[in-house]
Amino acid sequence: MSRLLLGLHCLLLLGALSSCREEVELFSSDEIDLEKPEETTAYRGFYLLNEGNMGSNKSTLDFYDFDSGTYSRNIYAEVNPDVPKELGDVGNDLQIYGSKLYAVINVSNKIEVMDAQTATRIGQIEIPNCRYIQFEGKYAYVTSYAGPVEINPDYTQRGFVAKVDTATLQVVDECLVGFQPDELAIVDGKIYVANSGGYMGAGSSDNYERTVSVIDMESFTEEKRIDVAANLHRVRADQRGDLWVSSRGDYKELPSRLFFIDSEKQAVTDTLDIPVSSCYLSGDSLYVCSVSWSYITYSNEITYAIVNTKTREVVTRNFITDGTDEEIEIPYGVMVHPVSGDIFLADAGNYVTPGMLYCFERSGKKKWSVRTGDIPAHFALLKKD
Amino acid sequence: MNRKFFSILLLCLWLPVCLVAQSRLDSVQHIQEVLVAAPLATSKAIIPAQQLEGKQLKALNSFSVADAIRYFAGVQIKDYGGVGGLKTVNVRSMGTNHMGVFYDGIQLGNAQNGQIDLGKFSLDNIESISLYNGQKSDIFQPARDYGSSGSIYLKFRRPHFSGQEKEHLKATFRTGSFDLVNPSFLYERKLSEKVNASINAEYIYSSGKYKFRYKRVLPGSNEVAYDTTAIRKNGDIHAFRVESGLYGRTEDGHWEVKTYYYDSERGIPGAIVNNRWMNAQRQWDTNFFVQGGWRKVITDRYDLMLKMKYANDRMRYLNPDTTLMYIDNSFRQQEAYASLAQKYQLTTYWDVSLSTDLQWNWLKSDLEGLVYPTRRSALVALATALDLGPFKSQASVLGTFINENITSVANSDGQAASSAPNKEEITPAIFFSYAPFENHDLTFRAFYKHIFRMPTFNDLYYTDIGNIKLKPEFTHQYNVGFKYAKTMANRSLVHWELQADGYYNEVTNKIVAVPKGSGMYRWMMMNLGRVEIRGLDAVAAATFDLPFEVLLNLKGTYTYQKAQDFTPRKNPDLEKTTWGGQIPYIPWHSGSFIASAGYQSWQLNYSFVYVGERYHNSANIRENYEQPWYTNDVSLLKTVALNDWSLKVALEVNNLLSQDYEVVLNYPMPKRNYKLTLTLEL
């Protein structure tokens, strides 16, 4: 009897020793000192938006300060402690316009609007299934998958572009486009929207969208469609106002490709045999990272290319020159410092655990790397005040 | 090739029966004599199960099988919250797909995703729940019983009539928090001296609504950052279940036939994330199966057991949320199964057995791009058991032969347009037990088992993510342990026991989703993972006979698990973040404690579950840290006799301290809640 009681006491003691539940603390940011960049005149630093896997509510914001070389990880909650459930679920785009920082949080159905210098929350724009954001004048333009539902006879739901007043953060107008519109670019009073049809084509590739919608900004109506290729994703305007559009392909027979739209002719006039996952336009150089699955090797084939947008030629198919490319799992976002030419590359890893941010010299040699949040993806460069 | 293979197997299956039938003719006189006296082979698991049964099971404030299983050592439950929320079990960190769940002796299957939602099985009329690590170390069982890394056996009440009794009636009504309305009804009837029948029906409704709270404080100062309480929505469930059974005895054996029908509609409450506090997804399930078993003593040395099953499951998933991709998919699975187990006694201490199972699985769906796979499995288990008094041993070898076809290709022009190659695996298991003392109930035990789980149909064929090249996912288990029990007469401590096991498990070729290609969260299933698990399970129990006829039962369990992710990564920097990390949701320390005291017609129960700190992914960093949680449940039962009837009233309070916790990230669990149960029995 006494032995048993002793045993029970031990058990209870064990219970007492093992930790008890306490109040859950909000995240405070981590600060990591990294190498300072040489060039710090025009820009203060950049924000990096980590997407977070769907349902995890782990979209987080990091900031790299060029002056101090300090990397601050997961700053949103610390700056804005009173926002329930923090930044949100699946960050999809990040832009700075004027004095404000805009983070498009897809599953949270909102665009978080913050002060660009401090990341202090100003408010939010409510847009369901919002994807990408661009600006012109006093308006923001946001693509969304969630247009009106039609049943004739099957369930269909076109996407739209929302016109948002950046002062009031209210949606003032909407323009219907194709199915599942992704990136958009604004050139000469027109919005070019890459329609993907991503929800439609999963079973049959014929159901992907193939077009770029052209919206006339004055009337805010869809003016025409430009046929490109299946499942469009990126659209960027180069220095001459011409457009670079990427297609994801159908992940089966149709490969991912890069297309050139002549904005005068309003038509595709060139195609580059290069797959595109993420890209960044710096001057006339389009930095392109691509990941495509090979059913032959059962692994991802990755390229890091630079396209000269003037000559429309691939300058290199590997801008990483020191062999680091052999180690990167999933390049998911890229940004280039406009002055120094330093290349910042985000590795999303396995999507469910933290990723890694790399900094390379212009020559493609690694300078440093730092752990990020889950699925680091979107950069926004912050100019000095 | 396959046809030939199956013919050989069929031959294997039936040949011994023919041989025995012949030999029986030769010695028919002798057999006739023995048959009557020959006892049915009883279960001879040399490593006993962890078991919850009878009163102890009723003493837990558990609604479903999943709730009860939390009180076993070595088990982790993933619970998405609420009456209708998904609840899956993981034993010794090897993963849900490595668990076999057996419903009255026959395994429940789900070839599509390999998961059995134990939240769907109510405790109504469950007589016992047993957990075996490795396998039930009994050699007279179907080949499928050798085929999992761990097994849970659910045994249902069957009719027992004493004296002049002809029928039993039991009606139960449960109600309480979450707007629960749960009537159930059981009727048992003696049809003849040898045949009994039972029918059992249950209806469950719950709105699934409960308050949950997210509170965060500022680090250091503990000042409130935010404190939000909301109501969990879309967790409603309507479920109807009806079961019937026929149970027969023959002179030299017994048989039973059971049918099961379950129909439900439920909301999927989903993850709570910023700016999205409710979800709209729905799921409908219809499950039907009929299963039967027959056991016969053929000679005094030879026993035979036949089992068969047919199951038909439908599932519809609907996402009507216009802010997400519209999804309305239906899946239909069928399974046909037959097993013949044979046991032969070579000597009084040495048995051998041969079990042969054949199984077919079909999956159909209206999901675009999904092929319709068919799987044919043949399992042959050869086992032997040695019983040398204090020393007992069992060894088995399981051969698994799998052949798959795709019968239709729906709109697919992709890569999955062919079926996965045939698979043949031979896997062994060996069990020992040793009781050194005649006067002390002390047993040492050990086992080794190597087994695998097949990739599921989803792993192999699901549109875009499926990979037909997947190999099975293997486990190796090494276990040593002991059990000591002592029963004392005329003492207040009537009985106590202690058992503990230490183990090392490896999961290799672990099937993990790997990011694939560009953007949009595309994945590919690959055999990349590797997990090493070092653990300790301990269970202690005691029964006290106290003054004033108070009977007190205590039971405690403790589990230690170090389950490390050793999945190689391409990126050495990233590998550092996950290498050796504790795998998601596995606490280092967990345990449970149950106390129940009975006084005349009263019973008071207390149960406690503790799940220690853990991480929600294998990068064990601050951001992924999850605090411990623990629940205290109390219930009071009173039995009233009214002539032939007995009425039981039970009042339960769960999560007494109203702790706000999550088992799975962003799936908040209920605060304090109540339940009232009335049971009327004839």
State residue B124's pLDDT score: 83
Looking at residues B302-318, what average pLDDT do you find? 96
SS3 A360: strand
Best mutation target, A276, A350, A358, to test chain B (most B CBs within 10 A): A350
Looking at residues A353-363, what average pLDDT do you find? 96
Do the Cβ atoms of B470 and B460 come closer than 8 Å? yes
Query: Cα–Cα distance between A64 and B123 in angstroms, integer?
Result: 55
Assigned token pair, B114: 């390999």
Using the Cβ of A124 and the Cβ atoms of chain B, whether some distance falls under 8 Å is answered with: yes
pLDDT at B13 over 60: no
Query: Which residues of B, range 601-620, sit inside 8 Å of A by Cβ?
Result: 610, 612-613, 617-619
In degrees and rounded to multiples of 5, residue A256 shows phi and psi of -75, 140
Looking at residues A225-253, what average pLDDT do you find? 94
| CA dihedral of residues A315, A319, A323, A327 (deg, nearest 10) | -120
State residue B520's pLDDT score: 60
State residue B207's pLDDT score: 95
Q: What are the residue ranges of helices labelled H in B27-63?
A: 28-37, 54-59
**pLDDT tens per residue, range A77-117:** 999 999 999 999 999 999 999 999 999 999 999 999 999 99
State residue B461's pLDDT score: 87
**Which residue segments constitute the domains of chain B, with CATH numbers given?**
2-681 (2.40.170.20)
Best mutation target, B275, B484, B560, to test chain A (most A CBs within 10 A): B275
Please answer yes or no on whether B216 and A26 come within 8 Å at the CB atom.
yes
Q: What are the residue ranges of helices labelled H in chain A?
A: 2-17, 76-79
Query: Cα–Cα distance between B262 and B340 in angstroms, integer?
Result: 28
Looking at residues B251-257, what average pLDDT do you find? 94
pLDDT at A12 over 80: no
State residue B417's pLDDT score: 66
pLDDT at B416 over 90: no
Query: Cα–Cα distance between A239 and A345 in angstroms, integer?
Result: 23
What is the CATH number that goes with domain A127-273?
2.130.10.10
Please answer yes or no on whether A24 and B216 come within 8 Å at the CB atom.
yes
For residue B515, what is the nearest residue in chain A, using CA coordinates?
A350
Of B256, B249, B250, B343, residue with least CA distance to B300: B343
Backbone CA torsion sign across A326, A328, A334, A339: negative
Using the Cβ of A17 and the Cβ atoms of chain B, whether some distance falls under 8 Å is answered with: no
Of A108, A140, A59, A100, residue with least CA distance to A382: A100
Residue A318 DSSP class: B
Least confident of B72-76, B356-360, B465-469, B518-522: B518-522
State residue A2's pLDDT score: 47
Query: Which residues of A, range 283-312, sit inside 8 Å of B by Cβ?
Result: 290-293, 295, 298, 300
State residue B371's pLDDT score: 85
List the single residue in A54, A88, A108 with the smallest CB-CB distance to B521.
Answer: A54
Assigned token pair, B136: 């039930």
Residues of A in contact with B368 (CB under 8 A): 202-204
Separation of first and last alpha carbons in chain B: 58
Looking at residues B569-586, what average pLDDT do you find? 95
Output B645 or A186, whichever has higher pLDDT: A186
Average pLDDT over chain B, rounded to whole? 89
Crossing angle for the helix pair B28-37 and B2-26, nearest 10 degrees? 90
Residues of A in contact with B225 (CB under 8 A): 26, 77, 81-82
**pLDDT tens per residue, range B206-228:** 999 999 999 999 998 889 999 99
Task: Name the band, by pLDDT with cuts 50, 70 and 90, for residue B38.
Answer: very low
State residue B341's pLDDT score: 97
Of A208, A206, A184, A188, residue with least CA distance to A198: A208
Separation of first and last alpha carbons in chain A: 77
Average pLDDT over chain A, rounded to whole? 92
pLDDT at B10 over 50: no
Please answer yes or no on whether A202 and B571 come within 8 Å at the CB atom.
no
Looking at residues B283-304, what average pLDDT do you find? 95
| Global pTM exceeds 0.90 | yes
Please answer yes or no on whether A83 and B226 come within 8 Å at the CB atom.
yes
pLDDT at B377 over 50: yes
Please answer yes or no on whether A21 and B556 come within 8 Å at the CB atom.
no
The angle subtended at Cα B571 by Cα B518 and Cα B587, nearest 5°, is 100
Query: Cα–Cα distance between A136 and A143 in angstroms, integer?
Result: 14
State residue A153's pLDDT score: 83
Please answer yes or no on whether B610 and A108 come within 8 Å at the CB atom.
no
Backbone CA torsion sign across B70, B487, B127, B431: positive
pLDDT at A15 over 90: no
Task: Tell me how close the Cα of A290 comes to any Cα of chain B, in angstroms.
Answer: 7
Assigned token pair, B666: 């962003």
**pLDDT tens per residue, range B606-619:** 999 999 999 999 99
Task: Name the band, by pLDDT with cuts 50, 70 and 90, for residue B463.
Answer: confident
State residue A296's pLDDT score: 82
pLDDT at A5 over 70: no
Looking at residues B336-353, what average pLDDT do you find? 96
Of B177, B172, B207, B173, residue with least CA distance to B84: B207
State residue B30's pLDDT score: 38
Least confident of A78-92, B27-41, B49-63, B274-288: B27-41
pLDDT at A221 over 60: yes
Residue spans of the domains in chain A: they are 1-80+275-385, 127-273
For residue B614, what is the nearest residue in chain A, using CA coordinates?
A19
Least confident of A63-67, B62-66, B153-157: B62-66
Assigned token pair, B115: 């998961």
Query: Cα–Cα distance between B382 and B352 in angstroms, integer?
Result: 8
For B630, B669, B677, the CA distances from B654, given in Å and listed in that order, are: 11, 12, 14
What's chain B's length in residues? 682
Which residues pair with residue B349 across a beta bridge? none
pLDDT at B201 over 60: yes
**pLDDT tens per residue, range B525-539:** 889 899 999 999 999
**pLDDT tens per residue, range A335-344:** 999 999 999 9
Q: Which residues of B91-110 are buried (b: 16+ CB within 10 A; e: fewer)?
A: bbbbbbbbbbbbbbbbbbbb
> Which residues, at least 6 apart from A277, have a Cβ–Cβ distance to it below 8 Å?
A256, A289, A290, A291, A331, A332, B517, B518, B519
What proportion of chain A, given as a percentage, has pLDDT over 90?
Answer: 83
Of B400, B408, B454, residue with least CA distance to B425: B400
State residue B354's pLDDT score: 97
**pLDDT tens per residue, range A140-154:** 999 999 999 998 788
Query: Cα–Cα distance between A210 and A225 in angstroms, integer?
Result: 9
pLDDT at A331 over 70: yes
Task: Tell me how close the Cα of A264 comes to any Cα of chain B, in angstroms.
Answer: 30
Output A20 or A163, whichever has higher pLDDT: A163
Q: Is the peptide bond before B568 cis (omega within 30 degrees of 0)?
A: no
Using the Cβ of A248 and the Cβ atoms of chain B, whether some distance falls under 8 Å is answered with: yes
Residues of B in contact with A330 (CB under 8 A): 515
pLDDT at B389 over 80: yes
Instruction: Give me the DSSP letters along A96-115.
Output: EETTEEEEEETTTTEEEEEE
What's chain A's length in residues? 385
List the single residue in A26, A54, A110 with the smallest CB-CB distance to B225.
Answer: A26
State residue A242's pLDDT score: 97
**pLDDT tens per residue, range B63-114:** 889 889 999 999 998 899 888 888 888 999 999 999 999 999 999 988 888 8
